[in-house]
Every structure is written in structure tokens, then in C-alpha cells.
Chains A and B, each alone.
Chain A
Amino acid sequence: MGFSIKTIAAGIAVCVCCVVASAQSPAPVRRTDNVPPKPSGATPRTADGHPDLTGVWNGIGDTLNGVPNQMANDGIYVESETSAHDVFSGARIFTFPRNTNRVPTNAADERAAALLRRVGANRPLYMPEYWQRVRDLDANANDEDPTNNCMPAGVPRAGIPLYIGQQPGSLIFIYPGQGGLIATQTMYRMVPLDGRQHTPLQDLDGTYTGESIAHWDGDTLVVDSWGFTSNTWFGQIGGYFHSEDMHVIERFHRDGNTLTWTATIEDPQVLLEPWTTTPRVAVLNANPHAVLPESDPCSERDLGHIVTKEHH
């Protein structure tokens, strides 16, 4: 089969145009920082005047996914290629240019990730008799992590819900199942916002999300939860176990297109003092018609093949 000169010339022209068009396309935006973005836009409000938290809060991806996000969750903010600090202690963290001659491997990246997720200074203060237990749980996370085998992350380990639906008198939180740092099944919470009080703790069966009630503290939504099973950890990693008496106070504050979340954990059975997570920031999905996609079914495939104690 032959081609005419015109056909060949047109083909060359198309190719040249493609190259030019490609060259003129904006390069993908590469971030060299993990600092939560500044808020933009107005904060929408409901008829009763409170901030409206409704939306899909995955504008910068899942808050548990990706080592840069996990470092920020741990309190390590890298502002630029030459500046980083610990937001809890204020300590400077030294930065270095990457080695361009380093050959990346999965093993090296995983080991680095395990270190990077634990650099931060903001750690809960356990009673001394539990210090070794926390170390052991973390070191043996491949056996001990309660999310193994696709169990729920629970509250507050699940972090910021990816979807919040705010109605008069209640809220719906949805946490799609996910892979990444921990692989978990889908979790949801229905949180009353009608002034009701907690059920007495002794009357509750412990659950992964506990019993939650919410109220407004100014423009901040406060979600108060108790009635948990002890079969969860409350930190993103680290072996941070708790008792069935854990009490969690989450605070959600919307500012424009950002949602800042913290959780304070009280557990006088195991902690010397309450502990508050480093603030996490989620960004609203910019698409006003965004919906949550169906999450993939969680299937544990790795545990049976693990031969070292290396872990997330």
C-alpha cells in the first residue's frame, strides 16, 4: 500500500502540530511542599446561620493516602525544598536536595516511608507501664494492627470523612474503603445534631465508631463520641491502642473551601493526659457535582506473604 506525497506531507504537518501543541501544553504542576493550602472562597451557611459542611472533601486526595499527606498529618510541614519544621514542637527539620543518582526501589521507598510517618514530635503520653506495649504493637504491626484483614479503621483513626451531608438535626459522614497506609472497609456515621445527650457509657456496647453527638461551638462543629470497642488504634500508625473508656472530641472548622479537623483523645485508663492530633486540612472537591465513587472491595492479600517485620 502506498501513500501520496500529499498524504505524507499532511501527516508530517499533523505530527509537527502535535509536537508544537504538546510543547505548548502546561506541564503538570509538581508540588515540592506538603503544607495544607490556604482557604479560598466564601464559607456557605445553612438557614440557621451555621457553616454548611456538606460536600465531597477530597480536593487534595484522601487524607490518609500518600506519604506527603501522612507526613503533614504527623506534623511535618515541608514548606519548600529548603525549609521544613515540626508544627507541634516548632523544631526545624533539615532538608536536603534529592540525589539524582539514586536508583529508587520499592524496598527503599517503603523503609523511608515508615521513618517519614514517624518523625513528628506530637505523640500521645501513655502511662509508663504501657510504653513498652506501644513500642511492641508498632514494631509488630504486621500482626497487631487492628485494621488488618480489612477491619474498620474506627474513630478517630479514619480521620476526615470524605463526604459530609449536613441536614437540620443530623449529619452523615462517609469514609469510603481504601488502600494505602491502611486498607479498610467502608465506614459511615450518623451524628445527631439535635441537642440530645449521650447514652450512659455502661449501657453501650463498644463499636468502631462509638456513639456520637454533635453541637456547635461558634462556627466549629464539635462531635463528641464514646462507647468504643478497644479493637482500634487512634493514631494513623504507631500502635496507639486505647481502652473501651476512650472519649473522642472532634472539631470540624470550615473556612471557604477548606475543612480543618482535630481529634482530642481522653482515656484516663491508659493516657497520662488528653492528646490532640495535629490539625488536618481537607479541601472541597472543586466540582460542585462531584460524587463519591464506589470504593473497591477490600481484600487482604499480603499478610500471609510477609516474611519480615517491616511495615507501614
Chain B
Amino acid sequence: MFVMRTKLFVNSAIVIAGCAIAIASPVSRVAGKGKPATGSAAQSGAASDAADRAKVLRAAADALGMVRWSDIGGGATHLPGIDVINTMEFSGTGVSYVAGQPVQTEFRVELAYNPPGMRVQTVRGGTASIQTVRENYAWDESEPGAGLIPGKGMATAQMAAAKERILQLWILPYGVVKAALAAGDKTVVSKENGNAVFTFPLAGAVAGVTVKATLDANNLITRVETKSDNPALNTETEYSDYADHGEIATDIKSPAHTVRTQGGRPVMDLQVKTWDANNPYVVFPVPSAVKAGNAKTAAARASTGALLAADGSVGSR
């Protein structure tokens, strides 16, 4: 008997792994409405809420292809499904708005959820920029990885932009599902115009922002709204044209079309050409100069008695 490889060698029909659960009645009652329940009625209501929440979030995760397992070579080990989304890379073109004026834009995005990080490279009207964020650190790069090796590029700390940049990660469809799961019983599901909706507060670096996500009939996230005391963090984003846009098929669905507004004003209208969801190699090491700059900022805050951010807990990779 010869040793056989198990590589895929046929063009198989695309199978949506973790087939989406049909949610004939995803929400049995609208949370937060009606008289306050007490005693066993309250317990029953809480259990019902939890079941509704689990059902809606599972359906959303399945529709995106996030929930996966594989028994290949596993013998008697049968693991549950897990969230397989960590890193991604996508690129495309479109229009973004500068001072209300549309500007032709090319973009390339690298992102990771564990640990959270994002690098957005854009060319807008002939001007290139690279904006990067890793947890509480934000900086601009003159080239990818600038500032990591002495003499190779420049990294400029942009700590004030950290919250806005990392928010972009959590309002992508995958981030919305992850954050809603992490919010636990703070996530509230309801129905609007026949569509399932869930609302939840973000935590950590983006605490203070509330997210509302709307699903379509296929349980795909089609609209994400963010609300905050900071007007810069109030956005409305529409996602459409979902498909597996990777050169390597993953059965992960991603939106090809993204339209964002802020307070009703257009922010961007982008089309994705390729979306690599196969957990590609993307990393966001924080340059030492950015860390040092942040330490100075933290020290300045401490001297004025302001609360310190939990910057010291961030690793280097």
C-alpha cells in the first residue's frame, strides 16, 4: 500500500460548510418590550432570550462560513465546530470621500482578530497611506512593517486614532459576530421589518460603542450601525454581494460591496476584487518607537491624574 496524499484535486462544487440553520422563527419575542417579568416568568424569559440569541448568532456565523470542523485523520476524536476566522487579506477599488468630494481609491486590507490588528493601505487620488492598528496602538507606516528594522521606513504613532481604526475590525461581518458572541447576554436580538436584528455593546478598546446588525433572509449581515458619544464613531455600513471571493476556496463568504455613511454623509463605496480568508500570514508587530511614544503619552496622562489605558499588557507580535 502506498502512502496517499489527501490533497484536493478536483473542482468540487462549493459546499457551504456548517450549513446555515434555517431560522423559521428566530426571535420569539422582542427583548426589552412589555411588562417586566418576575420569578419563574423572568427565568423563562431569560432562557428564551439566550436561546434566541444563540440561534440568531449561530445562523449568522454559519451563513458566513465561520463555524467549521473536520474529522480528517481524527479517529475517535470529534471536536465541536469552532470559529475559524483569524486573519484575512482583501483588496479592491472604489470611491472614498475627502471633505465631501469623491476620490478614486485603491485599497488593500490585512487584518487579524487574535490578537486584534489591521493594516489599511490606500492610494487616494495618487496619495498613498498605510494606517495600522494593533489593539491599543495605532501608527502610520511609510511602508509595510516600517520602523521594525532601523533605517527601514518610518512609523509615526497615531495613538488618538486607535479607537477609530480598531473599530473597523469589529464592524466587518466577522467582527460583528465575534463581538456579539463575546458580549454574551448583553446582546439583544429582535426583529425589524421581518429581519433579525441584534444589538450589543463593544468592550475593551472600543467600549462605549453600541453596534446594531441586521440580517437578511439568508442570515447574512447586510447592515451595521454604530452609535457612540463620539460622532466620529457613528457609522452606517451596508454589505452586499456575498460570495467566496478567495482565489483559494474556503467556503467563507465575504461581501464584495461595502457602502458607508456617517451621519448620512457618504464615506466610501468600495468593491472587493479578492478576499483571502484562508488565515493568511499577516502580522502587526508594534514598532519600538510607537511603544516608546505611547509610554510618554501614558506618563503624561498619569502626571495629570487621568486614567491610564491598559497599554502595558500588549505584546510585541
Contact = CB atoms under 8 A, between A and B. Distances in A.
A66 B114 contact: no
25 contacts: A67-B70, A68-B79, A78-B79, A93-B83, A93-B114, A94-B82, A98-B81, A101-B19, A103-B15, A107-B8, A107-B15, A110-B8, A110-B72, A121-B115, A123-B283, A128-B143, A129-B145, A131-B144, A135-B280, A135-B281, A183-B3, A296-B3, A298-B3, A303-B7, A310-B249
Interface string B160-198: 000000000000000000100110000000000000000
Interface in A37-96: 61, 65-69, 71, 76, 78, 81-82, 84, 86, 89, 91-96
A290 interface: no
Given A34-B79, A89-B114, A89-B115, A115 B279 contact: yes
Nearest to A114: B278
Given A91-B114, A99-B62, A296-B3, A105 B81 contact: no
Contacts of B3: 150, 177-179, 183, 295-299
Contact of B70 (A31, A112, A131): A112
A298 B249 CA distance: 28
B68 interface: yes
A202 interface: no
A200 to B, nearest CB: 28
Contacts of B181: 94
Contacts of B283: 123, 125-126, 131
A131 B218 CA distance: 36
Interface string A12-29: 000000000000000011
Given A118-B86, A298-B3, A109 B279 contact: no
A30 interface: yes
B23 interface: no
B89 A105 contact: no
Nearest to B62: A99
Contacts of B10: 107, 307
Contact of A66 (B72, B84, B178): B72
Nearest to A273: B316
Contact of B247 (A128, A139, A179): A139
Interface string B247-275: 11111100000000000000000000000
A299 B2 CA distance: 6
Interface in B34-81: 58, 61-62, 67-81
A128 B81 CA distance: 34
A127 B145 contact: yes
A127 B149 contact: yes
Nearest to B281: A134
B77 A131 contact: no
A186 to B, nearest CB: 11
A68, A104, A106, A303 — which one has the most chain B CB atoms within 10 A of its CB?
A68
Contact of B148 (A239, A272, A308): A272
Interface of A: 28-34, 61, 65-69, 71, 76, 78, 81-82, 84, 86, 89, 91-99, 101-116, 118-121, 123, 125-129, 131, 134-135, 138-139, 142, 150, 177-181, 183, 238-239, 272-273, 295-303, 305-312
A263 B285 CA distance: 22
B84 A128 contact: no
Contact of B4 (A179, A238, A272, A305): A179
A118 B278 contact: yes
Closest 9 CB pairs of A and B: A128-B145, A118-B279, A66-B73, A107-B12, A179-B3, A112-B68, A115-B84, A299-B2, A113-B70
Nearest to B276: A139
B19 A102 contact: yes
A122 to B, nearest CB: 8
Nearest to A310: B8
Contacts of B279: 115, 118-119
B144 A128 contact: yes
A117 B288 CA distance: 31
Interface string B76-106: 1111111110110100000000000000000
A305 B5 CA distance: 12
Given A121-B114, A128-B152, A99 B21 contact: yes
A116 B6 CA distance: 16
Given A108-B17, A134-B281, 6 more contacts: A34-B79, A66-B73, A71-B79, A98-B80, A111-B8, A183-B3
